[in-house]
Amino acid sequence: MERLKQSLENLSSQVAGLCIGQTPPLDSMIKTLEEIEVLSSDFNAPTLQTVTGAYKSYVKRMATKTFTTTAPLEQGLTLLHALVRHLEKGADFIFDISDVLQILEASFFEQQTSSSSIDSDVNSKAAISSSDTNLETESTSEEISEEDLEILSDFVGEAEENLDTIEVELMELEQDPSNHEIINNIFRPFHTIKGVSGFLDLKKINKLSHSTENLLDCARNGDFLINDTATDAILESVDLLKQLLSRVRQSSENKTKPDDHDIDIEPLRLKLQKLPPLLSNDTKEPVGKILIRKGIIDDNALDDALEEQARTGKRIGEILLENELAGSTDIAAALMEQKSTKRYTATQVKVNTNKLDDLVDYAGELVIAQSMLKQQALKDPSLYQSINQLEQIVSNIQRIAMSMRMIPIHSTFTKMIRLIRDLSRKSKKDVALNMSGEETEIDRNVVDALYEPMVHMIRNAIDHGIEPAKERVASGKPAQGTISLRAYHKGGSIVIEIEDDGKGLDRDRILEKGITVGLVKKEASLTDTQIFDLIMAPGFSTASAITDISGRGVGMDVVKDGIEKLRGNLDIRSTRGMGTCFTISLPLTLAIIDGMLVRIGKERYVIPTVSIRRSFRPDQKDCFTLKGKGEMIKERDELISLIRMKQICDIDNDSRHPWESLVVVVESKEEKRGLLVDELLGKDEYVIKSLGGGLQNITGFSGGAILADGKVGLILDMHGIFELASNI
């Protein structure tokens, strides 16, 4: 068994090392597969032998063309691993493998050029039965084993990722309906989901993905062009598949069979089946006509092929290929005449996100240990050089670990494409989306957390910001509204801007509502920024009517809370009649912070460097106490409020007078204040540690950091500190 498992691991490594567009190492792969075949025969495992044989045949056919996807190989590997795990446990393999065998046993030409899909499962079922595998295809009520749970978990993760890809590609396809490459990019994920769900006996997922695949197959064969109707149907299929996958995930957590009896897929399947003839486009030149025009076949050959098609139901390309009337290259060229340039992807290895987070955590611990060791080495100069070398190595490990968590924000931006498409239809407004900087990289956990805040702001922009077409034209604007998403790095932060060209925020109306609900005193003098910030108060809304898009007074407070939990800030700029821009500033990573260590009394605190503007020792003549405003410091001809930590957490400074201490000028949301400190201890990178369940929501502190001497220093949240100081 160990030898069999080792051979399978070798095959996994060989598949992982494949590079799209390059000649694969077929000899070594075939040799490994032959070893698995021999070993499966020794173990009297006919099912394993059958799958290995189909896998080997597929690999041999790879020699005929440059391959464009490793999906069939990966699906076959998943099945081989599952079979070996069951064989090792002595358990029966109850899943249906016909769909994966179908993928592997289909001609390589069909798989690679996408000339046709296999629409019937009948032949593949017969092939399985003739191989004497004696498989059970009916689901059982038995509890799922740990091995099967692992297969299901891998499938759900892959399928959800594929569905996200499909949504993005569909939005691109709407802009270029004749792009065969995009259609193939959508077809392949459905084909993958269909294949794996088949042997996992997930019947509804298998049937629905198969019906959607058939619709796409008609589109790529030129029967019709993808339009809004087809896109809506495919998106409906994506949503329903996500529901079914959610049930699979829930059931795997309970170690039971998926319960999806209440989800009816038949109406959608019927709709998908009826669409091709309704959407058929006779203006597309048939494949047979293209081949005649190119002189590859004549009219008589086409007539004979059409007669055979009427009898057998096969596709023209398949008939011509079987009768050797046209070569695979000729048919592929006819089908993909307008095919765009192929996209190649780099070799990647998938890693469990929990393992990745553990790596980052341990890298942080290593940084802390190295800092503590360096502190001790100051007493022993002989160790200093070695510690410096260690510091460089640790720094590189930390940098690589952090970069592994960084992913482009593109995935979050592209999810907004469908949102805007749906909302613009629902609101009956024509809205376009412009994106820039979508390749900007950000911490994976930050990307995930950004989705909900962005959804809220885009909903508000379409419902409240963008005017109806007639109103826009009357005010000299184009009828189509525009929402712009921009991402870029600025200092140690990532900045995301969501801007619309709508009517902008009504400053006076917001202020009036703020006074009415008691958020602002009538005599208060507020800046535009402070007034616009009122819309982020819980329950605040100036909407005159509630819609199914927004207007209930929930949303912006959720946005504010979500962004502040990520140690970020939200700023609002708006010009009446011109539009509104929401600017989100976030740290590049949630695990590390650049900070200045300061001492106040006997305690040490970390101030994020992004909040610091300067530090200085004020002259006595620049220190004032103003009635109603407290202590003020003159900083570059501007009076700013002075904050003492004693006001917030009863920590005394060494000196009573500001001119005997240092003032650190800090900024939050364009507001500057001075923080009185006793000593600046140095700038460094600090690994952020949670304060724990009972302390994590304390205003003014965003976490803790283990310092070089092993003690803990609190990390100040300047926005919270300002808020606390204002309430004193």
User: Looking at domain 407-587, which of 3.40.50.150, 3.30.565.10, 3.30.70.260, 3.30.460.80 is its CATH number?
Assistant: 3.30.565.10
Which two tokens mark 322? 């079987």
* Residue range 33-60: mean pLDDT, rounded: 82
Are both 354-405 and 407-587 of the same fold? no
The pLDDT score that the predictor gives to residue 551 is 45
Cα-flanking dihedrals φ and ψ of residue 559, to 5°? -60, -50
Beta pairing, strands 701-706 & 592-600: unpaired
* Residue range 62-88: mean pLDDT, rounded: 72
The pLDDT score that the predictor gives to residue 101 is 73
The pLDDT score that the predictor gives to residue 23 is 60
The pLDDT score that the predictor gives to residue 694 is 67
Q: Where are the domains of the chain?
A: 1-138, 140-284, 354-405, 407-587, 592-726
The pLDDT score that the predictor gives to residue 542 is 61
Between 170-174, 300-304, 486-490, the lowest mean confidence (pLDDT) is in 170-174
The pLDDT score that the predictor gives to residue 617 is 92
Q: Is the pLDDT of residue 532 over 80?
A: yes
Bridge partners, 614 (sequence order): 665
Q: Is the pLDDT of residue 598 over 90?
A: yes
* Residue range 551-574: mean pLDDT, rounded: 74
User: Considering the chain, what percentage of its residues have pLDDT values greater than 90?
Assistant: 7
Q: Are 133 and 83 in contact (CB under 8 A)?
A: no
Fold that domain 140-284 belongs to in CATH: Four Helix Bundle (Hemerythrin (Met), subunit A) (1.20.120)
Which two tokens mark 59? 């690999």
The pLDDT score that the predictor gives to residue 293 is 73
Bridge partners, 500 (sequence order): 483, 580
> Which residue type, as a one-letter code, is found at position 693?
G
The pLDDT score that the predictor gives to residue 16 is 65
The pLDDT score that the predictor gives to residue 680 is 92
Q: Is the pLDDT of residue 230 over 60?
A: yes
Fold that domain 1-138 belongs to in CATH: Four Helix Bundle (Hemerythrin (Met), subunit A) (1.20.120)
The pLDDT score that the predictor gives to residue 170 is 82
Phi/psi region, residue 641 (left: phi>0; alpha: psi -120 to 50; beta: rest), is: beta
* Residue range 409-432: mean pLDDT, rounded: 84
Nearest to 43 by CA among 105, 89, 95: 89
For residues 133 and 279, which has the higher predicted lDDT (pLDDT)?
A: 279
Local confidence band at 678 (pLDDT 50, 70, 90 cut-offs): very high
Q: Are 651 and 603 in contact (CB under 8 A)?
A: yes
Q: 3-class SS at 476?
A: coil
Angle (nearest 5°) at CA 154 between 150 and 160 = 145
* Residue range 460-476: mean pLDDT, rounded: 89
User: Looking at domain 354-405, which of 3.90.220, 2.40.10, 1.10.287, 1.10.260 is its CATH number?
Assistant: 1.10.287
**Per-residue pLDDT reduced to its tens digit, 396-416:** 887 787 778 778 888 788 788
The pLDDT score that the predictor gives to residue 145 is 60
Local confidence band at 482 (pLDDT 50, 70, 90 cut-offs): very high
> Which residue type, as a one-letter code, is found at position 346?
A
Q: Is the pLDDT of residue 115 over 80?
A: no
Q: Are 435 and 458 in contact (CB under 8 A)?
A: no
Which two tokens mark 721? 């500190």
Fold that domain 592-726 belongs to in CATH: OB fold (Dihydrolipoamide Acetyltransferase, E2P) (2.40.50)
**Per-residue pLDDT reduced to its tens digit, 129-186:** 333 333 333 333 445 566 667 777 778 888 888 888 888 788 777 777 777 888 888 8
* Residue range 232-239: mean pLDDT, rounded: 88
* Residue range 593-612: mean pLDDT, rounded: 89
The pLDDT score that the predictor gives to residue 340 is 34
Q: Is the pLDDT of residue 281 over 60?
A: no
* Residue range 200-209: mean pLDDT, rounded: 84
The mean of the pLDDT values for the chain is 77
Return all residues near 466 (Cβ < 8 A) that are at least 6 apart.
427, 429, 431, 472, 481, 483, 500, 501, 502
